[in-house]
C-alpha cells in the first residue's frame, strides 16, 4: 500500500515525458518544414527587377534619319571614309584625348550599346563629307557620366598632338560644338586634325560629333571630312531625329 502512490507518480511522469517528446517532435517538424507562403515567394527572391523598357530593333530603325531628311547632296553611303584609318587611328600621351580618339575611331562615343541599336551612314557627294547617325539604348547613368566627361574635353584637350599610323603627326584642336536644344541632355564637340599627307600636302580633317539623350535612348552623330563640313547637317539631323525618336518612343515600348 505504501508503494502505490509512488507507482502512480512514476507512471504519470512517464506519460508526461512521452507526451513531451511527442510534442517536441511535432513542434520540430512544423518549424523546419517550409510554409506555403515561403515556397511561393522563393522564386521572387531570384527574379531580377523589372528592366527599363527599350526600343525594339524595328523601332530603332524607324527612328533613324535618311538622306531625304537632309536633302541634296546627301546620299546613302558608298563606303567607309578613307580618313578614318589614316587620321583617326592615332596615339597621344594625354589619356583623356586618347580616349576621345579611340571612341571616334571605333564609332563608340558613348561606349558599346547595351541593347538595341540602329545605324545609318550618309555621304555628301559635293564636299566628300560623311555623316554617321546612330540610335541606341544605354543606361541613363552611364550616358550622363559620358556627357559630363565630353563637357570637359574642350579644356583638357584644347590643343594636343597625335601620331597617326599613315599620316605622321597631327595637331588636334577640340572646342565645344553648337547644338540645337533637343532631348533631355546633350553634348557636342568640334575637332580639327591638321598635318601633312605622305605626299607632302597640307591636310585638315574637320569632325563634328554629338550625343543626345532622350529618356532611356540616345542619338549619336559624327560628321567629318577633309573639305568643307556643313555644320547645319548635324544640327538638322539632330532636330529631325530627336522628334522622330520621341514619336517612336510614344508609339510603343517593350519590356526585356
Let me know whether 29 and 122 are in one domain. no
Query: What 8-state DSSP symbol labels residue 178?
Result: P
**Percent share of the chain, pLDDT over 90:** 59
First CA to last CA distance, the chain = 85
Tens digit of pLDDT for each residue in 106-137? 999 999 876 779 999 999 988 889 999 999 99
pTM: 0.77
CB contact burial 193-228 (16+ within 10 A = b; e otherwise): bebeeeeeeebebbbbbbbbbbbbbbbbbbbbbbee
Let me know whether 99 and 182 are in one domain. yes
Let me know whether 31 and 116 are in one domain. no
Let me know whether 190 and 150 are in one domain. yes
Does a structural domain hold residue 51? no
Let me know whether 136 and 18 are in one domain. no
Let me know whether 42 and 151 are in one domain. no
Let me know whether 168 and 200 are in one domain. yes
Tens digit of pLDDT for each residue in 48-72? 334 445 688 999 999 999 999 999 9
Does a structural domain hold residue 52? no
Number of domains composing the chain = 2
Burial of 101 (0-12, 13-18, 19+ CB in 10 A): buried
Instruction: Please determine, for residue 198, whether its predicted confidence score (pLDDT) is greater than 80.
Output: no
Does a structural domain hold residue 9? yes
* CATH of residue 232: 3.40.1000
When pLDDT is cut at 50, 70 and 90, the band that residue 228 belongs to is: confident
Tens digit of pLDDT for each residue in 131-166? 999 999 988 999 999 999 999 999 999 999 999 988
Give the bridge partners for 192, in sequence order. Answer: 173, 206
Tens digit of pLDDT for each residue in 29-49? 333 443 332 222 223 333 333
Let me know whether 174 and 104 are in one domain. yes
Domain extent, residue 247, equals 57-251
Let me know whether 28 and 66 are in one domain. no
Return all residues near 241 (Cβ < 8 A) that are at least 6 apart. 63, 64, 65, 69, 133, 135, 219, 221
The pLDDT assigned to 247 comes to 95
Amino acid at each position: 500500500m505504501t508503494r502505490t502512490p509512488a507507482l502512480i507518480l512514476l507512471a504519470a511522469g512517464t506519460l508526461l515525458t512521452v507526451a513531451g517528446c511527442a510534442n517536441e517532435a511535432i513542434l520540430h517538424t512544423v518549424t523546419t518544414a517550409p510554409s506555403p507562403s515561403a515556397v511561393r515567394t522563393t522564386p521572387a527572391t531570384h527574379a531580377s527587377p523589372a528592366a527599363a523598357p527599350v526600343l525594339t530593333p524595328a523601332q530603332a530603325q524607324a527612328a533613324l534619319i535618311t538622306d531625304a531628311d537632309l536633302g541634296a547632296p546627301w546620299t546613302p553611303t558608298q563606303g567607309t571614309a578613307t580618313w578614318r584609318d589614316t587620321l583617326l587611328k592615332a596615339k597621344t600621351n594625354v589619356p583623356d584625348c586618347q580616349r576621345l580618339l579611340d571612341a571616334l575611331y571605333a564609332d563608340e562615343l558613348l561606349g558599346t550599346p547595351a541593347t538595341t541599336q540602329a545605324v545609318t551612314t550618309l555621304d555628301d557627294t559635293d564636299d566628300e563629307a560623311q555623316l554617321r547617325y546612330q540610335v541606341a539604348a544605354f543606361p541613363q547613368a552611364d550616358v550622363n557620366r559620358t556627357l559630363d566627361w565630353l563637357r570637359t574635353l574642350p579644356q583638357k584637350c584644347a590643343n594636343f598632338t597625335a601620331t597617326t599610323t599613315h599620316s605622321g603627326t597631327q595637331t588636334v584642336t577640340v572646342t565645344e560644338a553648337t547644338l540645337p536644344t533637343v532631348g533631355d541632355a546633350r553634348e557636342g564637340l568640334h575637332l580639327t586634325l591638321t598635318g601633312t599627307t605622305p605626299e607632302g600636302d597640307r591636310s585638315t580633317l574637320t569632325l563634328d560629333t554629338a550625343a543626345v539623350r532622350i529618356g532611356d535612348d540616345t542619338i549619336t552623330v559624327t560628321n567629318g571630312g577633309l573639305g568643307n563640313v556643313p555644320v547645319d547637317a548635324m544640327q538638322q539631323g539632330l532636330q529631325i531625329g530627336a522628334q522622330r525618336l520621341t514619336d517612336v518612343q510614344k508609339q510603343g515600348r517593350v519590356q526585356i
